């Protein structure tokens, strides 16, 4: 199979087969993959701007009944380091986010064994009563699936009630690799592939929107990365409910998988570029500067991403694994501007929420 012919097919807007996607992942021609991914991104986004958003990752608890070998954040029930955020502290975090220009919070936590659905409804209602304009991007599919088990309620009922209580959109957390062989090797007591996808499916059927993710660079094969992308593409064909896709490399430090060699920038950029070429029905791809740092995060905008991701006022999960990259708003905007794009702030639905930059007047143009 000729890699150049596969890239030509992708840049022409034709759908790639799993075999063609795998051939691209097996290629070492990073420059060619990047050029093709950038061409597709520019075709999908011919506008002169690239986006970012301002939000905060609020982890309301780290207590979790699942055992994930790749996670340095969770604590088992009754562990002395386990916590549940005090409601006043949580609301203060939202208040600070709003003061910094944020219009959204990312609300996620562990799979707490004791709290039934009413607790989460009260949490959402509390936030919305104080901050009615803030979008709550909350509760990953593993959490939602867990809620159905603890409360003994159907999935649709759980999602309908959370939506009525104020849930605005669903994150794609807990996706890792959507292949059961992989999931069963690295985690116990956590949702498997079909149920992860079905949480999004039902949410989309209720009119909701969500994001999709992939954490790679651990025990999966390259073919399993493509299988993951194929499952996402199939669901997007069915519902059209995903707003964006984000991938990042597994961070092994301080986890039970610390022996796994850390995937580097080459693997990250290659996988993101192939994702852009394969996910032909996804409008947006986010850079993962949180795991890659400023320069690689910026370079990702030339490897298929059209969005710089979030300012991420607070991040706890990746940081617990030893990866600590923090950017200021000026650094994010500067990274976009250095590539010749106008930085624009957006919300989770990819609607622009900032004022457009002032354009020079006719008189100023004459002077210039």
To the nearest whole number, what is the mean pLDDT of the chain? Answer: 93
Predicted local confidence at residue 67, as pLDDT = 87
Predicted local confidence at residue 114, as pLDDT = 95
Predicted local confidence at residue 322, as pLDDT = 46
Q: What is the pTM of this model?
A: 0.93
Measure the CA–CA gap between 325 and 214, rounded to whole angstroms.
Answer: 19
User: For 114-144, what is each residue's pLDDT tens digit?
Assistant: 999 999 999 999 999 999 999 999 999 999 9
User: For 48-82, what is each residue's pLDDT tens digit?
Assistant: 999 999 988 999 999 999 989 888 888 999 999 99
236 contact partners, CB below 8 Å, separation of at least 6: 212, 242, 279, 281, 282
Highest CATH level, class, for 17-351: alpha beta
Measure the CA–CA gap between 298 and 302, rounded to whole angstroms.
Answer: 8
130 contact partners, CB below 8 Å, separation of at least 6: 91, 94, 95
User: For 100-114, what is each residue's pLDDT tens digit?
Assistant: 889 999 999 999 999
User: For 220-243, what is each residue's pLDDT tens digit?
Assistant: 999 999 999 999 999 999 999 999
Average pLDDT of span 157-183 = 97
Start-to-end CA distance of the chain, whole Å, equals 53
User: For 303-325, what is each residue's pLDDT tens digit?
Assistant: 999 999 988 776 454 444 445 56
Query: Closest Cα to residue 353, out of 343, 362, 364?
Result: 343
């Amino acid at each position: 199979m000729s890699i150049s012919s596969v890239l030509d097919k992708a840049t022409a807007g034709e759908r790639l087969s799993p075999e063609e996607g795998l051939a691209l992942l097996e290629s070492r021609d990073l420059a060619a993959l990047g050029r093709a991914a950038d061409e597709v991104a520019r075709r999908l986004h011919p506008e002169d701007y690239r986006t970012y958003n301002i939000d905060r990752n609020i982890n309301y608890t780290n207590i979790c009944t699942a055992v994930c070998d790749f996670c340095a954040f969770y604590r088992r029930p009754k562990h002395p380091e386990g916590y549940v955020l005090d409601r006043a502290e949580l609301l203060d975090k939202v208040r600070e986010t709003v003061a910094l220009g944020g219009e959204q919070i990312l609300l996620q936590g562990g799979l707490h064994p004791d709290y039934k659905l009413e607790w989460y409804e009260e949490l959402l209602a509390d936030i919305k009563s104080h901050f009615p304009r803030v979008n709550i991007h909350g509760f990953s599919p593993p959490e939602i699936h867990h809620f159905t088990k603890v409360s003994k309620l159907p999935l649709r009922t759980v999602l309908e009630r959370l939506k009525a209580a104020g849930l605005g959109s669903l994150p794609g957390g807990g996706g890792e690799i959507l292949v059961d062989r992989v999931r069963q090797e690295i985690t116990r007591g956590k949702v498997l592939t079909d149920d992860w996808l079905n949480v999004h499916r039902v949410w989309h059927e209720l009119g909701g929107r969500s994001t999709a993710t992939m954490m790679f660079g651990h025990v999966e094969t390259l073919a399993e990365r493509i299988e993951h992308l194929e499952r996402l593409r199939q669901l997007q064909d069915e519902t059209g409910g995903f707003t964006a896709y984000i991938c990042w490399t597994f961070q092994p430090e301080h986890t039970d998988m610390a022996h796994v060699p850390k995937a580097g920038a080459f693997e990250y950029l290659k996988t993101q570029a192939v994702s852009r070429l394969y996910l032909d029905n996804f409008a947006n791809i986010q850079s993962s500067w949180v795991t890659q740092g400023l320069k690689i995060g910026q370079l990702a905008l030339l490897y298929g991403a059209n969005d710089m991701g979030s300012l991420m006022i607070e991040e706890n999960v990746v940081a617990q694994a030893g990866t600590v990259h923090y950017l200021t708003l000026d650094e994010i905007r500067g990274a976009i501007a250095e590539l010749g794009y106008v930085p624009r702030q957006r919300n989770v639905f990819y609607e622009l929420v900032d004022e457009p930059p002032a354009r020079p007047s006719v008189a100023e143009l004459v002077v210039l």
